[in-house]
């Protein structure tokens, strides 16, 4: 069942399917419990939440923390975290932040405390007027008095301003475009095959549904058996029709879409600003795989790594030779931290 579990979890990560629809989708591809039963919505939810499928172990011995296991993961960590965002993204009480990813704090998990270099927390304490003030902060004992909290709006503005100086490497981007076009052509052939298989399944479902009705009319099935079969075929048909719709949308991808995607990559700040929460999380994690240290006093970011597709283009003129690389070393911090 492992490949089917992977397929279901990756299907959910697309962000356009409910748990009920996913349960029907799981049934349509043959995913069953250890006892051979179809998975309920509750079981589907537990499947999505279980970190073991992303290669982790969590129990009393790990004190509730995710620890990388020795078993082979079925999905990537990125897919697992994205699924948690999609599953829990709207479940919070007013004024409280309990989620790893929250629409008010898209940089949570990415930005690091400038003192301890660990991820900053996010919260919205009450103001004197009774409102809320969304902020990023580090409340670890070692950072007491060393790292102040900072308004989320300021951090987000500084982040977007910094992104205006992140540019794609044109040589790599040209190669990337060629790869995308070639891959799109290959993918289209694969999609055409999937469309054909889905349409074949729909024809089979229609035939089976008609056969059930005929068997009822000839007395071979009871009314209850006929109803159960017809409902089952109708549910499976709905899943397949939804899958067909998605595949047909993918068939419409043209070279112009690849060109548009590449153009968007050239405007990194806008790309991040207009993206959905899930896309923001995936994009910023890919762009800065080691996270970003945020220096609130100087309102700047530092990192140890940046995606090879991008480079840092300082907007200062007449920079000294030592600062003409794509990252600039930050004074007063460890040498591996480079300021953007």
Between CA 172 and CA 10 the distance in angstroms is: 28
Rg of the chain in Å (alpha carbons): 25
Short-list 111, 205, 124, CA closest to 158 = 111
More confident residue, 216 or 340: 216
Residues 50-77, mean pLDDT to the nearest whole number: 84
Angle at the Cα of 195 (from 190 to 196), degrees rounded to 5?
Answer: 100
Instruction: Give 36 or 159, the one with higher predicted confidence.
Output: 159
Q: Write the pLDDT tens digit of every residue in 270-296.
A: 878 877 787 788 888 888 888 899 988
pLDDT higher for 9 or 328?
A: 9
Does residue 337 carry a pLDDT above 80? no
In the predicted structure, residue 174 carries a pLDDT above the cut 90 = no
Beta strands in 32-110 (DSSP E): 56-57, 67-68
- How far lies 334's CA from each of 138, 254, 293, 297, 339, in Å? 19, 47, 12, 17, 11
Question: What CATH number has the domain spanning 1-88?
Answer: 3.90.1750.20
pLDDT at 62: 74
Q: 210 falls in which pLDDT band (50, 70, 90)?
A: very high
| Position 260 pLDDT exceeds 50 | yes
Domain boundaries, the chain: 1-88, 170-263
Range of lowest pLDDT (78-87, 163-172, 250-259): 250-259
| Mean pLDDT of the chain, nearest integer | 79
pLDDT above 70 covers a percentage of the chain that reads 84
Say what the pTM is.
0.46
């Amino acid at each position: 069942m492992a490949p089917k579990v992977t397929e279901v979890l990756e299907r959910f990560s697309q962000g356009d399917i409910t748990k009920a629809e996913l349960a029907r989708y799981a049934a349509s591809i043959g995913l069953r419990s250890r006892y051979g039963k179809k998975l309920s919505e509750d079981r589907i939810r537990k499947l999505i939440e279980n970190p073991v499928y992303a290669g982790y172990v969590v129990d009393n011995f790990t004190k509730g923390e995710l620890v990388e296991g020795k078993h082979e993961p079925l999905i990537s960590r990125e897919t697992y975290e994205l699924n948690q965002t999609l599953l829990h993204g709207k479940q919070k009480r007013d004024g409280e932040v309990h989620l790893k990813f929250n629409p008010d704090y898209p940089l949570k998990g990415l930005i690091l405390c400038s003192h301890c270099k660990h991820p900053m927390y996010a919260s919205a304490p009450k103001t004197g007027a009774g409102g809320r003030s969304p902020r990023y902060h580090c409340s670890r004992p070692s950072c007491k008095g060393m790292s102040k909290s900072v308004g989320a709006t300021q951090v987000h503005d500084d982040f977007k301003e910094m992104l205006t100086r992140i540019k794609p490497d044109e040589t790599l981007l040209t190669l990337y475009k060629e790869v995308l076009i070639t891959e799109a052509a290959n993918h289209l052939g694969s999609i055409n095959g999937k469309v054909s298989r889905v349409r074949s399944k729909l024809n089979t479902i229609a035939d089976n549904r008609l056969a059930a009705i005929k068997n009822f009319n000839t007395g071979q099935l009871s009314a209850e058996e006929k109803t159960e079969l017809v409902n089952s075929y109708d549910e499976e048909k709905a899943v397949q029709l939804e899958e067909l719709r998605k595949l047909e949308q993918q068939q419409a991808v043209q070279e112009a879409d690849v060109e548009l995607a590449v153009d968007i990559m050239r405007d990194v700040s806008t790309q991040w600003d207009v993206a959905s929460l899930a896309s923001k999380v995936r994009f910023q994690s890919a762009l800065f795989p080691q996270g970003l240290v945020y220096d609130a006093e100087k309102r700047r970011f530092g990192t140890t790594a940046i995606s090879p597709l991008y480079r840092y283009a300082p907007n200062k003129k007449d920079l000294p030779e030592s600062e003409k690389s794509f990252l600039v070393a930050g004074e007063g911090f460890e040498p591996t931290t480079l300021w953007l």
